[in-house]
Amino acid sequence: MNAAFVEAAASLIGVRFRLHGRDPATGLDCVGVVAEAMRRAGTEPVVPAGYRLRTISVNSLLPLAQANRFEPALPADADVVLVMVSPIQPHLVVRAAGGFIHAHAGLGRVTFLPGPLPWPTAGGWRVPNLLHTIRD
């Protein structure tokens, strides 16, 4: 587990939810949580744009992993897990001790979800050491 990344994600708990949100001052979505956690852990992320809340494909989220050099991992070993909240709604969550951190649209904020995931997983990635900028 990338401790700096997870700590940074935990610091976002309570931030307002906003679809396509990238700024904690105005709100974050699941991609925004991952991106802001990367920023706070020491690197400038490459963030996708133009994805929809509901889609039958996870392909719009894959560029985030590729552009930021995330390493593919089994969901059980991943820092970032791609889940399917419904058959048409992919969602990113950050693994933390005892559960997951994620932007919860229904609650309207970033929250901690204790225990195992209630949704099926569709993939996962390890976040590389974030002590340098990805673009370097």
Q: What is the pLDDT of residues 121-133, one digit of tens each?
A: 999 999 987 654 4
**pLDDT band at residue 50 using 50, 70 and 90 as cut-offs:** low
Identify the pLDDT of residue 134.
44
Class of domain 3-126 as given by CATH? alpha beta
Contacts of 32 (CB under 8 A, 6+ apart): 18, 20, 21, 22, 23, 47, 103
- The CA distance from 6 to 110, in Å, is 13
Instruction: Specify the pTM.
Output: 0.90
Residue 59: other Cβ atoms inside 10 A: 10
Q: Using the 8-state DSSP alphabet, how is residue 77 labeled?
A: G
